[in-house]
Amino acid sequence: MLCLCLLSCATKAKETKATLEDNEMVDYFADNGFGNAVAVVQHPAGIYHNGITYVCYQGPLEDPYVASYNHNTKQWKGPYKAGISEMGKDPNHKTDNHGKPSMLIDDAGYIHITFGGHGGTKKLGENPLGNHHYGKNKHVVSKKPLDISGWEELENISPFGTYNQFIKMDNGDIYLFYRHGAHRSNWVYQKSTDNGRTFEEPVSFLKHKRRTDMAAEDSWYPWITKGDNGELHIVFDYHLCSDTTPQTKGLGHIAKRYDIYYIVFNTKNNAWKNIKEEPLAIPVTREEADEKALVARTPGNWTFQGVVDLDPDGNPHSGMTIGKEIEGSRRSASKNMHHFKWNGTEWTHSKNAGLPKGNGDLEAKSSQEIDFYIESRDENDFGEVARWSSTDGGETFIKAKVLLKKSKANFAISALIENPHPDARLIVAEHKPGTNYKNMYLLGDTGSVMRIKKEAQVLNRSNNIE
């Protein structure tokens, strides 16, 4: 009898342990992020729609993955592999990272993902608007509305694209913005009026051009967002794409990016203008950008990844990371986030606003209340993602809320999720030392959205399951 009792107790203990393990929660939703799994430039990487947040990111072999979280039932689905990138399959080629996915939900409820391009290759044919590099820009759509479990590929966008940015207008028109090739290429958009089933031919709006005063080409890095009344707002910086010379020490492309610019596209009449309502001819050249679109010069400093949001008065606020130029380096030193705003007559900039070194996105809740969401390092060298807030129009910012903090961690951050739920504003990837895989987080005002550990450990399962 004693043996049976001991056996029963041991069995119950095992069952209790198994139950605890089955219900163990973690603060990440997947462990199969790969390389630079998310970035601000490829956006949106997440959308909140009808009670569910949908997210996408770069997974194993640089393929796109999609997951969803139901805020009512607290249930996760996915991640599912949405397509196959032509990058990431050659062991002799380093992880490229330019083909991270961006996302859109059309008016019929179908989910669209674009991914996989870094300018395309010569086997795809001539690139009339730029040069080639790697990969192929692809477009997939869900087989059923709001269903992330099945996908089909559509051959209806240029294969030469990279840095995809998706925008749906209030009337349902879809705009896909991207660079039409590698570094020496025009920036373009393609428009769809049938829920992304077909797209019009690419239209150039920023022009790459050979310089005559030095061995270099004009190039650009824009970021586009939707405003009111059918307008799209674009902040961008200038890339001095130098030739490879003995002076560049064989580094090839160097991240020389300078200055801040701003233009507006009225999609209702296809007219382009600057902040002062003066018309612009597209594609915009460096000369016209300097004359009509300049927000600020950044002498002695490099820029990186501008973002823009409009306050309720319709005035734009822009964030740009700015840091010291380092000659001969592929990258500049760590850069502080800077805030610029248009006050109705001029651009203003507080140089001592207190924003940290790091990258991120912003929300202009009013002309005086501005929130930045930034990945950075704290005073103890912990990696963190935090909300930095201003109540004086951007003159000063304070760290208002830490959303995620970990020792010895480095984070990559997405742009703000489109129409975000307060509990799910950002997608974050944690760079883990010694591996190219990343833990993926969904962050909101209350921190990380939790998930059962066994569900989040995707690398222990196949590549295409819930």
For residues 144 and 201, the answer to whether their CB atoms sit within 8 Å is: no
What is the tally of helices (H) and strands (E) in the chain? Answer: 3, 34
Q: For residue 245, how many other CB atoms are within 10 A of its CB?
A: 10
Q: Examine residue 283 and say whether the peptide bond preceding it is cis (omega within 30 degrees of 0).
A: yes
Q: Which residues contact 298 (CB under 8 A, 6 or more apart)?
A: 258, 259, 260, 322
Task: Determine the Cα–Cα distance for residues 331 and 357; give it in Å rounded to an integer.
Answer: 14
**Residues taking part in catalysis:** 98, 163
Written as one letter, the residue type at 456 is: A
Among the listed residues 446, 371, 443, the one whose alpha carbon sits nearest the alpha carbon of residue 411: 443
Please say whether the beta carbons of 131 and 185 come within 8 A.
yes
- Tracing tokens 């209790």 back to the chain, one arrives at 16
Give the helix/strand (H/E) hosting 315. none
Token code pair at residue 336: 């502080």
d(CA 311, CA 309): 7
User: What is the dihedral angle through the alpha carbons of 152, 156, 160, 164, rounded to the nearest 10 degrees?
Assistant: -70
| Inter-residue contact 68 to 54 (CB < 8 Å) | yes
433 closest CA partner among 461, 408, 405, 401: 408
List of residues 6+ apart from 167 with CB closer than 8 A: 104, 174, 175, 177, 224, 225, 226, 232
Q: DSSP string spanning 378-436?
A: -TTS-EEEEEEEESSTTS--EEEEEEEEETT-EEEEPPPPBS-BTTB-EEEEEEPTT-S
Nearby residues of 72 by Cβ (< 8 Å), 6 or more positions away:
51
